[in-house]
Homo-oligomer: A and B are copies of this chain.
Amino acid sequence: MSLENQELRKAGLKVTLPRVKIYQILEKAGEGDHFSAEDIYKLLMEIGEDVGLATVYRVLTQFETAGLVTRHHFEGGHSVFELASAEEHDHIVCIKCGRVREFVDQQLIDRQYQIAKDLGFTITDRTLYLYGVCSEGCSAK
């Protein structure tokens, strides 16, 4: 049994073709890469998999609920998804070109835990997004 199948079963999801294909796409993308539902839909079309857009959304939501992927919301009212990763990281989003970039800054993370501790909290989850304009590239479509 393939790795994807194990992951899906472990998450309590039946192993179906759309789920496997979508999981593979996310997997191949690797860490730091983010896809919108539309991106994934187009990729599926390209490889000849006839999966509906609604299914892509549903499967991604199921993956999110199961903790397999993380959903990120940003400008323009659409979301991007990435395979849940073990390493804590944060995101910086270019509001012009839409690119999402990950970064890890231990000092920043440590400080957050320290603040929470000082306020009498135990952190279970964090969300940090920086929105801005990236200087290079960003051919402002």
Contact = CB atoms under 8 A, between A and B. Distances in A.
Interface of A: 73-75, 77-79, 92, 94-95, 101, 103, 105, 107-108, 111-112, 115-116, 119-136
Q: Oligomeric state, in number of copies?
A: 2
A76 to B, nearest CB: 8
Given A77-B78, A108-B115, A131 B124 contact: yes
Interface of A is mostly: strand
Contact of A127 (B77, B115, B129): B129
B130 A126 contact: yes
Given A108-B115, A125-B131, 5 more contacts: A73-B75, A112-B128, A115-B130, A121-B133, A127-B128
B108 A94 contact: no
A65 to B, nearest CB: 12
A134 B125 CA distance: 13
B130 A116 contact: yes
23 contacts: A73-B73, A73-B131, A77-B79, A92-B116, A92-B119, A94-B121, A95-B124, A101-B119, A105-B115, A111-B111, A112-B130, A115-B130, A116-B130, A120-B135, A120-B136, A121-B130, A121-B132, A121-B135, A122-B132, A125-B131, A126-B129, A127-B127, A128-B128
